[in-house]
């Protein structure tokens, strides 16, 4: 099991909308994430900085990373692009974090 963490960035004024969209996460998105090995997926919000901290556990990094090539993922990115900072392909601008400590 691999633990992955990253930071993403909202545009100001979109905190409520971001949370709403995730509260109403499409079932096909949820099912696909699980199919590609994601579990214990959490996203936390720094309300002062409009910054998101995402944490997910995956069975296999390569399998999970290939999820970004699926139609449902691209559809989700397009849906989220108006409220968060994105790359040219609508993927969220993110910064991967390196694990430095773990306590089981």
How confident is residue 89, by pLDDT bands cut at 50, 70 and 90?
A: very high
Q: Which of 20, 22, 34, 95 is catalytic?
A: 22
What's the rounded Cα separation, in Å, for the pair 2 and 58? 5
**Percent of the chain's residues with pLDDT above 70:** 100
CATH code matching the domain that covers 2-96, chosen among 3.30.450.20, 3.30.70.100, 3.40.50.300, 3.40.50.10580: 3.30.70.100
Which tokens is 54 given?
């995402």
pLDDT value for 26: 97
What's the rounded Cα separation, in Å, for the pair 85 and 93? 6
CA distances for 22 relative to 29, 98, 101, angstroms = 10, 25, 28
What's the rounded Cα separation, in Å, for the pair 84 and 100? 27
pLDDT in tens, 25-71: 999 999 999 999 999 999 999 999 999 999 999 999 999 999 999 99
pLDDT value for 29: 97
To which residue do tokens 């994430």 refer?
33
What's the rounded Cα separation, in Å, for the pair 67 and 96? 16
Query: pTM for this structure?
Result: 0.92
Residue 22 appears among annotated catalytic residues: yes
In the chain, what are the domain boundaries?
A: 2-96
């Amino acid at each position: 099991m691999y633990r992955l963490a990253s930071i993403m960035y909202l545009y100001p004024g979109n905190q409520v909308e971001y949370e709403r969209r995730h509260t109403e996460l499409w079932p096909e998105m949820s099912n696909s994430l699980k199919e590609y090995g994601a579990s214990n997926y959490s996203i936390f919000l720094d309300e002062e900085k409009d910054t998101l901290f995402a944490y997910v556990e995956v069975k296999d990094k390569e399998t999970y990373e290939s999820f970004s090539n699926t139609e449902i993922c691209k559809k989700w990115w397009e849906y989220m692009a108006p409220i968060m900072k994105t790359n040219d392909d609508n993927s969220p601008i993110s910064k991967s974090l390196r694990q430095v400590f773990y306590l089981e």
